[in-house]
Amino acid sequence: MSDVIKKVKTKAVIYTRVSSVAQSEKGHGLASQETRCREYARMKGYRIDKVFSDKAVSGLIVDRPGIQDMLRYIHKNRSDGDYVVLIDDISRIARDVEAHLNLRRAIDNAGAKLESPSIEFGEDSDSILVENLLASVSQHQRQKNAEQTKNRMRARLQNGYWPFNACVGFKYKKVDGRGKVLTRDEPLASIIQEALEGFAFGRFQTQAEVKRYLESQPAFPKDHRGEVTYEHVHRLMRRPIYAGMVAHEAWGVSMRKGQHEGLIDFEAYQRIHARLQEAPKAPARADINADFILRGAVACGSCGHPLTACWSTGKSGKKHPYYLCFQKGCASYRKSIRRDQLEGDFMTLLDRMTPGQKFVTFARGMFRDIWNGLMGQTEAKRKTLQAHIQRTEQKVEQLMDRIVEAESTALIKSYEKRIAKLETERFVLAEKLAKTGQSKGTFEEMFEHALAFLSNPQKLWDSGVPEHRQTVIKLAFETRPRYCRENGFSNPEYSLPFKLLGDFCGQNFVMAERKGFEPSKGFGPLLP
């Protein structure tokens, strides 16, 4: 019997790549590339050992995971014979000419040969020329596509449409004739709106408070530690997209009105920027809780420094809550005050702040008169705003004429900055004009909650909710009330509404008589 010589087939691996997830699902995707390579391998008599792929992976060609896995596999198994690397088309690996040549060298060093059903790779001068030309064409196509995409995105941005990924709080919705437009994504939109407006109008004094608020919202995205970073908070506050504006300085697109509805108005956005420029304030303590709700809110009667608090362990091992001043040099330094004593005196103070019903009724009538008066001034305010807008537009036109005549580059840039500033002012005026005469609610909806609080602040305190109690502290006092261990609270400085409405420190407030402004006998002072 003669020996039967078995023909050993050449071993091959397949490499496929797509630049986006969408390409893997339609068109020239991974599956179609693999099919062409397998058909070519059957024609050549190659045995396919493995398939390597990269899907929507950026970076240098040689550094991509699929390429690296393929080269390691070839190095590991090259002892059994050389390999052939099959690709569907040169564009699958030719990001640019330099990257293509680097990959060709890496494949050669691994002991493999590159082949494709679309092109014949050779070592002669003509084959190398064709290969380099095709790689250069692939590079040009990639660069051209990038330029066209950027130009289309920039044009859309100039028209007020956001062309990038939707920011947190927004989602895209297809609109006939307009394409994809940003819309609110609830509940994230409402969460971000409350955070931004809260910082703009002083509900949150620091970015740390905004951070803690966002972390308390289960729906808001957090990092792997379950936290919201300060960088994330800072980005939220500085993005004009949340105010209904779009801009991209890197592409030379100045700030302009967007085609989407913002989560906050532009005035609130400007307030946020102004507050970010202010000197930093001391952050609110993260450990303020129901145990010591007045920590930091009440000042020491001796030195005026905010009181701190702690739990003290007695001889029996039982813990007792105390407030104390920890300011060195103070006469009351580390002299403890029982929590029940201080918080009980504070509740008595709130009870003394409750105004009489006559004054609440009087305040309601006064506020209604002011409300009606403001409603009557709407038309005059609209005319004033329209006049301001016209003057601003005239200034812009004058500066545009100066730019045409100017020859100095520095002067042109100066004019452009002034125009951008005027455009921002014009947008703010237009926003105010659009809102003038549009009430957010009726008088009862706007003022009843405020009047309910002013008429009985202790009721909100008695709710026991820490956030509600902190609100009472912020709204009821102009400054921290001072507390003395011996005499309790002394001459607290109340906020203006309570000065005008209440009956403080045993002084009775009554309305002035019709005869004149001077009070008759027995009339107490209006203010404490």
Are 10-144 and 170-277 in the same CATH fold? no
Token pair of 205 as six digits: 């004094």
Q: Which fold has domain 10-144?
A: Rossmann fold (3.40.50)
Q: Per-domain residue ranges for the chain?
A: 10-144, 170-277, 290-354+456-501, 359-446
Beta strand ranges found along 87-155 (DSSP E): 112-115
What does the angle CA 204 – CA 207 – CA 208 come to, to the nearest 5 degrees?
90
> Cβ contacts of residue 245 below 8 Å, gap of 6+?
255, 256, 257, 258, 262, 266, 269, 427
Exposure pattern of 292-323 as b/e (b: 16+ CB <10 Å)? Answer: bbbbbbbbbbbbebbbbbeeeeeeeeeeebbb
Q: What is the pLDDT of residue 480?
A: 85
Do the beta carbons of residue 337 and residue 485 sit within 8 Å?
A: yes
Which residue is listed with tokens 């001068």?
125
Query: From CA 310, how far away is CA 323, in angstroms rounded?
Result: 7
CATH 3.90.1750.20 fits 170-277, yes or no: yes
Beta strand ranges found along 331-474 (DSSP E): 337-338
Query: From CA 468, how far away is CA 88, in angstroms rounded?
Result: 66
> Cβ contacts of residue 402 below 8 Å, gap of 6+?
415
Q: What is the pLDDT of residue 170?
A: 92
Residue 424's CB: how many other CB atoms inside 10 A? 17
Do the beta carbons of residue 67 and residue 52 sit within 8 Å?
A: yes
Distances (CA, A) of 7 to 10, 19, 43, 47, 80: 9, 39, 16, 12, 14
Do the beta carbons of residue 36 and residue 89 sit within 8 Å?
A: no
Question: What pairs with residue 55 in β-bridges?
Answer: 18
Distances (CA, A) of 413 to 214, 239, 396, 417, 420: 40, 24, 14, 6, 11
- DSSP notation for 474-518: HHHBSSPPEEETTTEE-S--B-HHHHHH---TTPPP-PPPTT-SS
Beta strand ranges found along 95-153 (DSSP E): 112-115
Do the beta carbons of residue 365 and residue 398 sit within 8 Å?
A: no
Query: From CA 323, how far away is CA 335, in angstroms rounded?
Result: 9
Do the beta carbons of residue 29 and residue 18 sit within 8 Å?
A: yes
Q: Is the model's pTM score more than 0.95?
A: no
Q: What is the pLDDT of residue 517?
A: 40
Query: Position 210: which residue type?
Result: V
pLDDT per residue rounded down to tens, the chain (528 residues): 344 444 456 888 888 887 765 554 555 577 888 888 888 888 888 888 888 888 765 555 667 788 888 888 888 887 766 788 888 877 766 666 777 777 888 888 888 888 888 877 777 777 778 777 877 877 787 778 888 888 888 888 888 899 888 888 999 998 888 888 999 998 899 999 989 988 888 778 888 888 888 888 888 988 888 888 888 888 888 899 998 888 888 888 888 888 888 888 888 888 888 888 876 655 555 444 567 878 878 888 888 888 888 888 877 778 888 888 888 888 888 888 888 888 888 888 877 776 666 666 766 777 777 777 766 677 777 788 888 888 888 888 888 888 887 777 888 888 777 887 787 778 777 777 777 766 666 666 666 666 666 667 777 777 767 767 777 777 778 788 888 888 888 778 877 667 665 543 344 434 333 344 444 443 333 333
Query: Position 472: which residue type?
Result: V
Closest CA relative to residue 346, chosen from 307, 288, 303 = 307
Query: From CA 202, how far away is CA 271, in angstroms rounded?
Result: 10
Which residue is listed with tokens 């088309």?
89
